[in-house]
Chains A and B, each alone.
Chain A
Amino acid sequence: SSALTQPPSVSVSPGQTAKITCTGETLANSYSYWYQHKPGQAPVVVLFQDTERPSQIPERFSGSSSGTTVTLTITGVQAEDEADYYCQSGDSSGTSDVVFGGGTKLTVL
């Protein structure tokens, strides 16, 4: 299965904008998903199908897609957003491979 590449870490100050990229060939023809994972907790989906946001996720989370790169953007970062973020590709209800990126540690300074 194809690999997904993310930066290991991103640091921003509160109120700033954080952008986390995810690159992989599979993203050219597959939707992406983003998960927030805090220590000791279950992961939470924050974006699905590249740009869609679950109803319970704040509007400051948004997504974009261009070719083989997708981007998670957090506008007006808050301290509670500090977490690991993982991109994922593949059809979770189908036969295509499910792949996670290596994860990005978002640090709120």
Chain B
Amino acid sequence: EEQLVESGGGLVQSGESLRLSCAASGFSLSMYWIHWVRHSPGKGLVWVSRIDRDGTRTAFADPVQGRFDVSRDNVKQTVFLQMNALRIEDTGTYFCSRAGTQGFDLWGQGVQVTVTS
């Protein structure tokens, strides 16, 4: 079964850091771009970041540019989202998703990130 599983979320204070992981199984991670998407009540789904197949090209939404970084280890079948200088508005459920020929065709179950003042 093809699967993505996120981990690493938690409750942190403003200014602190978290590192999220997205572990893939059942398929070869190296064949796909991976995106991170945040869901929060009232804002819905918001695109956060993407990384290409071999990790050489990345991109970030403007609100997280310069604070977040994304990387991957295809041998370990894992993508990472390093979140620094966290802000209250970064709070939400973070999903990793696989970019296939039919859009984002596989999503993880999501991991909660809560940033307090």
Partner-B contacts on A (CB < 8 A): 33, 35, 37, 41-45, 48-49, 52, 54, 84, 86, 88, 90, 92-93, 95, 97-103
Contacts and interface: CB of A to CB of B under 8 A. Distances in A.
Contacts of A98: 35, 47, 50
Nearest to B109: A42
Interface in B30-64: 32-33, 35, 37, 39, 43-47, 50, 57, 59
B33 A93 contact: yes
Contacts of B39: 37
B interface, size bucket: 20 to 34
Contacts of A92: 33, 35, 50, 99, 103-104
A104 to B, nearest CB: 9
B46 A100 contact: yes
Contacts of A90: 47
Contacts of A102: 43-44
A92 B52 CA distance: 10
Nearest to B50: A98
B2 interface: no
Given A93-B33, A93-B100, A99-B47, 14 more contacts: A41-B109, A43-B37, A43-B107, A45-B103, A49-B102, A54-B102, A88-B104, A92-B50, A92-B99, A93-B32, A95-B57, A98-B35, A102-B43, A103-B44
A45 B47 contact: no
A105 to B, nearest CB: 10
A48 B101 CA distance: 9
B7 to A, nearest CB: 15
Contacts of A52: 102
Given A42-B107, A43-B95, A43-B104, A37 B45 contact: yes
